[in-house]
Chain A
Amino acid sequence: MAAVASSEQTDIQRAGAPARRRSFPVWRWAILLIAAAYFLIPLYAALRFAGFKAFTQVTSYPSFGSAFGLSLRLAIIATVLTLVLMVPTTVYVHLRLPRIRRVMEAITILPIVIPPIVLIIGVLKVAPGFLLGSPNLLGLEYVVLAMPFAYRSLDAGLRSFDVKTMVEAANSLGAGWPTTLWRVVVPNLRTAMLSATVLTVALVLGEYTMASLDNFQTFPVWIVNFEQNSGPVSVAASLLALFVTWILLMFIVTVGGRSASKRGGGQVQLFTISTQTASHTTGEPE
């Protein structure tokens, strides 16, 4: 009985395997096409609607440059502050307080849960006077907004190599804390830091609510204001925003990724964190 059952099973497997192999790619392509259509058709429609003339018109507005410049400046402020604050924090939590990692995860998710208006009122209440009215204040708010993404990237990066042993090895060789962090931890966290950077920059370049509530002409705010004036030009502006952001992110990934992989680090891709040196070959080749 058992023998019959098992031979039946292998027959089914034998018949099923090639069929599945044939049908699988079809489905994959179908899904890919549907997903692509979902993104590409609106883009194409927008391109058709705007026309090429609108693009040249957009860039000729003088306020375009200042709005884009402000967004870039905020992206830089937010990224630098985020990395300076979050890298030592996550490393410290990993090494010394692994038990509060869950608490950290909960805390860092808060900016997503709390409505932006609440964050803004909070920040306005505690911000020192010289920052009020300065766009730098918005940079600080973006640090808070970016925290969930930055923390998760860095946390995953720290899990991809044995930080504790690396730090102890560096210590035993005579490296103090700052040296260990700078020469050992940060270089191996490069991929994760890059990923945190990409997410922060993308967030800042696309953020509308806070900027408009705070009354700053960032790039997204400028686009929305523009929309009220002319249809095709505002669509061209949105498309431009999309492409510029995309090109900027590709640039960060390519530049950062190249130096990381040269050093034997992981390949960087948008929104994925590849683990470093996961595979070791065992056994001596000699």
Chain B
Amino acid sequence: MTTNTAAGTAGGVLGTAGHGAGAPVVLQALSRSFGATRALDGLSLDIAPGELVALLGPSGCGKTTALRIVAGFENADSGTVTVDGKDVSPVPAAKRDMGMVFQSYSLFPNMTALENVGFGLRMRKFRAGDRVKRAGELLDMVGLTPQSRQYPHQLSGGQQQRVALARALAIEPRVLLLDEPLSALDAKVRLQLREQIRTLQQRLGTTTLFVTHDQEEALSMADRVGVMRNGTLEQIATPSELYSRPATAFVAEFVGTMNRIPGNYQGNDEVTVLGTVVPVHGDRPANLAAEVDVLVRPEGLTIEAIDHGNGIVTDRTFLGSLTRVSVLLSSEVAVKVDKTSTAAAELVPGTSVQVGVVAAEPILIAARR
């Protein structure tokens, strides 16, 4: 509904989007410490013009620090940020031409929605008439024309974040920075706004850095997702690659659901798990013992009702076309297996089942926990 409104009116704004759109951004070996804590530890990242890169990671992994350094709110201890080939380190935040949407509601309470969107234009010395016209176009783009005269406290959380997005985009920023802009909103609004941000970003072609701890958000919106850990990138890849071919056990377990099943490492890049020999890729544990954990997604396991199998069904979660079946293996390990809902109908809790591994793809192993 709102997306359609946006599609119809964005043309005018796009026409005026000149220098702003699509600057390449390069983060080079950024490091930053707060006291004894090393928030960033040599983070490097290339963002292509018009690309949306999400930084994903648990809290304290340094993703917000990275964003704030790009915005100019923090200084890096070492390393550089270049936009369009120019080092922006000496440039103050006010002169960086970067639009930012914050996690907390950041609209100026003393200004209407329209005045909020026009604020950046006012700072750029736009004449009052042009300002109102352009701010109006942007509010239209986020579907909030009826609310343009309202003050922030009269708007819902989702509306406020849409105004904040319009405000950030109004200045035709060279880079759009999103600092968990959806985390304060409820689930349904979050979903709508997620689509709207992505649609607008693609249409305007604004290079965007998006920070989130919500993997679903990162995977559904970003061109590429960088998973961060301890101040550095663990892996950066397209969402599907990240999910299907995680480079490390950390990424594998952070993105999506992952089972850990005890296995026997053979030494020759093969591991035996649940009676099947499977090829191994990625990191090998440093102190390689024969006993390892094998990481398998719920859809990488097979399940079959059978008398005296290797596990017992403990629970089922209906997910629509799929049902996630929880199984307690005889080795006291709990695993989750995805099965089509029709096939899972017979797998009531208490059923004895045989769980196996699909041996098609190489899989990851980790040191036994």
- Closest residue of chain B to A282 (Cβ to Cβ) is B157
Contact with B along A267-286 (1 / 0, CB 8 A): 00000000011011111111
In the bound assembly, the distance between CA atoms of A279 and B155 in angstroms comes to 10
Say yes or no: is B243 at the interface (Cβ < 8 Å to chain A). no
Q: Do the beta carbons of A264 and B104 come within 8 Å of each other?
A: no
In the bound assembly, the distance between CA atoms of A44 and B153 in angstroms comes to 45
Q: Do the beta carbons of B108 and A264 come within 8 Å of each other?
A: no
A173, A176, A284: the one within 8 Å of B156 (CB): A284
A229 to chain B minimum Cβ distance, whole angstroms, is: 51
- Closest residue of chain A to B96 (Cβ to Cβ) is A172
With A172-B93, A174-B94, A264-B151 as known contacts, state yes or no: A280 contacts B110, CB within 8 Å.
no
Residues on the A chain within 8 Å of B105, using CB: 162, 165, 280
From B116-124, B217-225, B228-236, the one touching the partner chain is: B116-124
Q: Do the beta carbons of A169 and B73 come within 8 Å of each other?
A: no
Q: Interface residue count for A (Cβ, 8 Å)?
A: 32
With A165-B106, A264-B110 as known contacts, state yes or no: A173 contacts B123, CB within 8 Å.
yes
In the bound assembly, the distance between CA atoms of A117 and B311 in angstroms comes to 86
B125 to chain A minimum Cβ distance, whole angstroms, is: 10
30 A–B pairs (Cβ distance < 8 Å), ordered by A: A162-B106, A165-B104, A168-B106, A169-B107, A169-B167, A170-B119, A171-B72, A172-B71, A172-B98, A172-B99, A172-B168, A172-B177, A173-B120, A183-B108, A183-B119, A264-B109, A264-B110, A264-B151, A265-B109, A276-B109, A277-B153, A279-B153, A280-B153, A281-B157, A283-B156, A283-B186, A283-B188, A283-B189, A284-B189, A284-B192
Say yes or no: is A184 at the interface (Cβ < 8 Å to chain B). yes
B290 to chain A minimum Cβ distance, whole angstroms, is: 53
B131 to chain A minimum Cβ distance, whole angstroms, is: 13
A166, A174, A188, A190: the one within 8 Å of B106 (CB): A166
Say yes or no: is B159 at the interface (Cβ < 8 Å to chain A). yes
Say yes or no: is A68 at the interface (Cβ < 8 Å to chain B). no
Residues on the A chain within 8 Å of B20, using CB: none
B96, B97, B109: the one within 8 Å of A161 (CB): B109
Say yes or no: is B246 at the interface (Cβ < 8 Å to chain A). no
- Closest residue of chain A to B152 (Cβ to Cβ) is A277
Q: Do the beta carbons of B151 and A263 come within 8 Å of each other?
A: yes
Q: Interface residue count for B (Cβ, 8 Å)?
A: 45
In the bound assembly, the distance between CA atoms of A16 and B328 in angstroms comes to 53
In the bound assembly, the distance between CA atoms of A276 and B105 in angstroms comes to 13
- Closest residue of chain B to A279 (Cβ to Cβ) is B153
Residues on the B chain within 8 Å of A265, using CB: 109-110
In the bound assembly, the distance between CA atoms of A179 and B108 in angstroms comes to 13
A169, A264, A280: the one within 8 Å of B100 (CB): A169
Q: Do the beta carbons of A165 and B102 come within 8 Å of each other?
A: yes
Q: Do the beta carbons of A173 and B153 come within 8 Å of each other?
A: no
Residues on the A chain within 8 Å of B94, using CB: 171-176
8 Å CB interface, B122-146 against A: 123-124
Residues on the A chain within 8 Å of B154, using CB: 264
In the bound assembly, the distance between CA atoms of A265 and B151 in angstroms comes to 10
Say yes or no: is A98 at the interface (Cβ < 8 Å to chain B). no
Most chain A beta-carbon neighbours within 10 Å: one of B2, B97, B153: B153
- Closest residue of chain B to A264 (Cβ to Cβ) is B151
Q: Do the beta carbons of A188 and B93 come within 8 Å of each other?
A: no
Q: Do the beta carbons of A169 and B102 come within 8 Å of each other?
A: yes
Among all A-B residue pairs, the 8 with the closest Cβ atoms: A264-B151, A173-B120, A277-B153, A174-B123, A187-B110, A169-B106, A172-B100, A171-B93
B114 to chain A minimum Cβ distance, whole angstroms, is: 13
Q: Do the beta carbons of B108 and A184 come within 8 Å of each other?
A: yes
In the bound assembly, the distance between CA atoms of A184 and B2 in angstroms comes to 30
Most chain A beta-carbon neighbours within 10 Å: one of B109, B124, B192: B109
In the bound assembly, the distance between CA atoms of A173 and B92 in angstroms comes to 12
Residues on the B chain within 8 Å of A276, using CB: 109, 153
CB < 8 Å A-B pair total: 115
Residues on the B chain within 8 Å of A171, using CB: 72-73, 92-94
In the bound assembly, the distance between CA atoms of A173 and B99 in angstroms comes to 7
Residues on the B chain within 8 Å of A190, using CB: 110
A163 to chain B minimum Cβ distance, whole angstroms, is: 11
B188 to chain A minimum Cβ distance, whole angstroms, is: 8
Say yes or no: is B62 at the interface (Cβ < 8 Å to chain A). no
- Closest residue of chain B to A168 (Cβ to Cβ) is B73
Residues on the B chain within 8 Å of A168, using CB: 71, 73, 93, 100, 102, 106
- Closest residue of chain A to B189 (Cβ to Cβ) is A284
- Closest residue of chain A to B158 (Cβ to Cβ) is A284
Residues on the B chain within 8 Å of A162, using CB: 104-106
In the bound assembly, the distance between CA atoms of A183 and B120 in angstroms comes to 12
Residues on the B chain within 8 Å of A166, using CB: 106, 108
With A282-B157, A283-B189 as known contacts, state yes or no: A188 contacts B108, CB within 8 Å.
yes
B108 to chain A minimum Cβ distance, whole angstroms, is: 5
In the bound assembly, the distance between CA atoms of A166 and B110 in angstroms comes to 11
Residues on the A chain within 8 Å of B171, using CB: 173-174
Say yes or no: is B319 at the interface (Cβ < 8 Å to chain A). no
In the bound assembly, the distance between CA atoms of A190 and B108 in angstroms comes to 13
Residues on the B chain within 8 Å of A172, using CB: 71-72, 93-94, 96, 98-100, 168, 177
- Closest residue of chain A to B109 (Cβ to Cβ) is A277
B95, B97, B123, B152: the one within 8 Å of A179 (CB): B123
Residues on the A chain within 8 Å of B123, using CB: 173-175, 179
Residues on the B chain within 8 Å of A176, using CB: 94
Residues on the B chain within 8 Å of A175, using CB: 94, 119, 123
Most chain B beta-carbon neighbours within 10 Å: one of A170, A263, A280: A280
- Closest residue of chain B to A189 (Cβ to Cβ) is B110
In the bound assembly, the distance between CA atoms of A176 and B92 in angstroms comes to 9
Say yes or no: is B185 at the interface (Cβ < 8 Å to chain A). yes
Contact with A along B37-76 (1 / 0, CB 8 A): 0000000000000000000000000000000000111000
- List 7 additional contacts besides A172-B72, A277-B153; criterion CB under 8 Å: A162-B104, A168-B71, A169-B167, A172-B98, A263-B151, A264-B152, A282-B158
- Closest residue of chain B to A263 (Cβ to Cβ) is B110
